[in-house]
Amino acid sequence: MRRTVTFRLVVDPVRCDGFGHCAELAPELVTLDEWGYPVMQAEAFPQSDRELHRSAQLAVRGCPRQALALQKIISA
Amino acid sequence: MTLELTTRRVLANHLDHPKNLAEHESDFGPINRLAITIDVLRESGITGRGGAAFPTAKKVEFLLQQRRATRYVVVNAMEGEPAAHKDRMLLATNPHLVLDGAMVLANLLNADSVIICIAREHVTTITQVKAAIAQRGAKRLQGPSFEVQTPPGRYVAGEESALVHWLNSNETLPQYRATRPSILQIGRGGVLLDNAETHANVGLIARHGAEWFRSVGTAARPGTTVTSVTGNGKALVVEVPYGTPIRSILSDAGIEYEPRALLLGGYGGTWLDGKHLDVGFDDDSLRPFSAGTGAGVIMALPHASCGVAECARIVDYMACESARQCGPCAFGLPAMADDLNALASGRGATQSLSRLLHLSEVIEGRGACRHPDGVIRFVRTALSVFAEDFNHHAAGHPCPFARGPRISYIPHQSDVKDLEWE
């Protein structure tokens, strides 16, 4: 049985103040709504996608409110 | 009148004063030695009465699995929903039944305190509950201590994470929970939080057992629901088994007219077309109509009223009640309210319909709590139930009732622009 590991970028909406850095650092994963708050891509991306993983990490580190987290999803 | 249909389990028959302990014990039996086991609770199949319909036994089991030195039982009687008044009615007639349920759950969990949360605006209820607690104190019972807490009565104040946060740090703000089921705690102690009506039912299950409890209601939702019915200036509370046709609930409550539509569950609930009056009032029967029972609220909208205008008014209120923590809720709900107000007046509303649909897509699921999702559910079902009216309004032809009186009750908000959050 192989477990598949995927990742998803999640935002704490209470912390988020709509700086919008995440949309610049990870444009593949984040779009902004009309008020400048991030809309996260709903579907998780595979571990193999190093490029996406890298920009997600940049977004997490670049958030001035530290509102982002990279969520690891393990499914059997 | 068909009063026989009403099944009074947790609501008392005489409604003039709260039962004192002596009356309570002569009606329901003594309160010492009252206890419940987790098996009885599980067999009873009781679900939460606050709106989410989560199985109470699962909550208790979840808490029993955690190793905790201290545990708390919280009775949620905040009732921030303006269309609901059942918890107040319950505590004004049978306060001891609620306390019994909280007591047996506290004993089951080995919790040493029970906290009853009542909005500070509900002064009468606070007095009644404090009196009931004092009567029990005189009996020197074994078991948990009781205390009353009075957070401010805002709409989201009764949301579980907001309520527990208030008990911890005096702020009625919903909290972001990354994982579910979320763990509620006061200090480092685990918290069991249930609606007051749920506690009252547990008080009865402890006496009569699981089988008795399941004898009315549906298989998925056994027991009765204490339902707040409003319409045409009347506000009543009736207790009926789950699955009772909506038509008989309305006639029980003395609403004689055929409604245009029904608002079910509350201001974050769902609209149902008035022609579905024979549907049972339980979540399984209502699901095909994408409606639900929510916190047990039925508002009957008469034909001589404007659904669009009522929606605008309610969403306006809900937008003001946002805790303004999350961007999508703080900005999205007022934007929806603006569009609905434009539609209600019929001026400059050509884009409003499509904008409303777009906004519901954008905002959904992006708040820390379910407040924005409730509004979206409300708006979506309104758009399908009042589809024709919405189209007329959007075309600049509002119905004649759009300027008439409203039937939905909105609590007084003294200064909307500068709402105080504690």
- In chain A, where the domains are located: 4-75
B171 and B48 together in one domain: yes
B328 touches chain A (CB under 8 A): yes
B189 and B242 together in one domain: no
* Chain A residues near residue B329 by CB distance under 8 angstroms: 13
Q: Among the listed ranges A37-41, B36-40, B179-183, B361-365, which one has the minimum average pLDDT value?
A: B179-183
| B173, B328, B362 ranked by CB distance to A13: nearest | B328
B207 and B282 together in one domain: no
Q: Tell if the CB–CB gap between B366 and A13 is shorter than 8 Å.
A: yes
Cα B86–B241–B270 angle (5° rounding)?
A: 60
B207 and B77 together in one domain: yes
First to last CA, chain A: 7
**So what's the pLDDT on residue B51?**
84
B189 touches chain A (CB under 8 A): no
Give tens-digit pLDDT for B238-274: 999 999 999 999 988 888 888 999 999 999 999 999 9
B260 and B328 together in one domain: no
Residue range(s) defining the domain that contains residue B378: 307-409
| Greatest alpha-carbon span in chain B | 69
* Chain B residues near residue A70 by CB distance under 8 angstroms: none
Give the Cα separation of B291 and B378 in Å (integer): 10
Q: Given the DSSP bridges, would you call strands B224-231 and B189-195 parallel, antiparallel or unpaired? A: unpaired
A69 touches chain B (CB under 8 A): yes
B76 and B98 together in one domain: yes
B408: which residues sit within 8 A by CB, 6+ positions away?
Answer: B82, B83, B263, B267, B299, B310, B313, B314
Give the Cα separation of B422 and B419 in Å (integer): 10
Q: Tell if the CB–CB gap between A17 and B327 is shorter than 8 Å.
A: yes
B396 and B283 together in one domain: no
B175 touches chain A (CB under 8 A): yes
**So what's the pLDDT on residue B397?**
84
* Chain A residues near residue B332 by CB distance under 8 angstroms: 33, 35
**CATH code for the domain in which residue B381 is found:** 1.20.1440.230
Given a contact cutoff of 8 angstroms between Cβ atoms, the answer to whether B57 and B46 are in contact is yes
CA distances in angstroms from B105 to B44, B205, B247, listed in the order given: 14, 11, 35
B245 and B161 together in one domain: no
User: b/e per residue, B253-272, with b = 16+ CB within 10 A?
Assistant: bebeeebbbbbbbbbbbbbb
Does domain A4-75 match CATH 3.30.70.20?
yes
* Chain A residues near residue B176 by CB distance under 8 angstroms: 12-15
What is the amino acid identity at position B121?
A: E
Query: Which residue of chain B comes nearest to A13, CA vs CA?
Result: B326
Instruction: Answer with the one of B285, B301, B317 that is the final residue of a domain.
Output: B301
**Across chain B, what does the average pLDDT equal?**
88
Give tens-digit pLDDT for A41-70: 988 999 889 999 999 999 999 999 999 999
Q: Given the DSSP bridges, would you call strands A68-75 and B71-77 parallel, antiparallel or unpaired? A: unpaired
B220 falls within a domain: no
A34 touches chain B (CB under 8 A): yes
pTM (2 d.p.):
0.90
- Name the E strands within B201-276: 224-231, 234-241, 261-264, 270-273
Locate B264 and state its tokens: 């079910």
Q: Tell if the CB–CB gap between B362 and A14 is shorter than 8 Å.
A: no
Segments in B237-301 forming alpha helices (H): 246-252, 283-286
Give the Cα separation of B229 and A12 in Å (integer): 37
CA of B87 vs chain A CAs: smallest distance (Å): 30
B163 pLDDT above the threshold of 60? yes
Tokens 């300027």 — which residue? B403
Give the Cα separation of B112 and B141 in Å (integer): 13
Q: Tell if the CB–CB gap between B328 and A10 is shorter than 8 Å.
A: no
B148 and B19 together in one domain: yes
How many residues are there in chain B?
Answer: 422
Give the Cα separation of B101 and B49 in Å (integer): 13
B31: which residues sit within 8 A by CB, 6+ positions away?
Answer: B21, B24, B25, B96, B100, B103, B136, B139, B141
B251 falls within a domain: yes
| A16, A69, A71 ranked by CB distance to B327: nearest | A16
Q: Which of the four pLDDT bands, split at 50, 70 and 90, describes residue B414?
A: low
pLDDT average, residue stretch B91-107: 93
Locate B319 and state its tokens: 């937008």
Beta bridge partners of A73: A6
Give the Cα separation of B366 and B332 in Å (integer): 10
3-state helix, strand, coil in chain B (%, to 5): 45, 15, 40
Instruction: Answer with the one of B246, B271, B301 that is the final residue of a domain.
Output: B301
B141 touches chain A (CB under 8 A): no
* Chain A residues near residue B173 by CB distance under 8 angstroms: 14
A13 touches chain B (CB under 8 A): yes
Q: Can you give the C-alpha Rg of chain B in angstroms?
A: 21
B65 and B188 together in one domain: yes
**CATH code for the domain in which residue B275 is found:** 3.10.20.600
How many residues are there in chain A?
Answer: 76
Query: Which residue of chain A comes nearest to B331, CA vs CA?
Result: A35
B166 and B42 together in one domain: yes
Give tens-digit pLDDT for B289-328: 989 998 999 999 988 888 999 999 999 999 998 999 999 9
**Residue among B165, B175, B331 with most chain A CBs within 10 A, to mutate:** B331
First to last CA, chain B: 46
B6 pLDDT above the threshold of 60? no
Instruction: Answer with the one of B193, B214, B235 that is the final residue of a domain.
Output: B214
B123 touches chain A (CB under 8 A): no
Q: Domain total for chain B?
A: 3
B24 and B81 together in one domain: yes
**Residue among A9, A10, A15, A16 with most chain B CBs within 10 A, to mutate:** A16
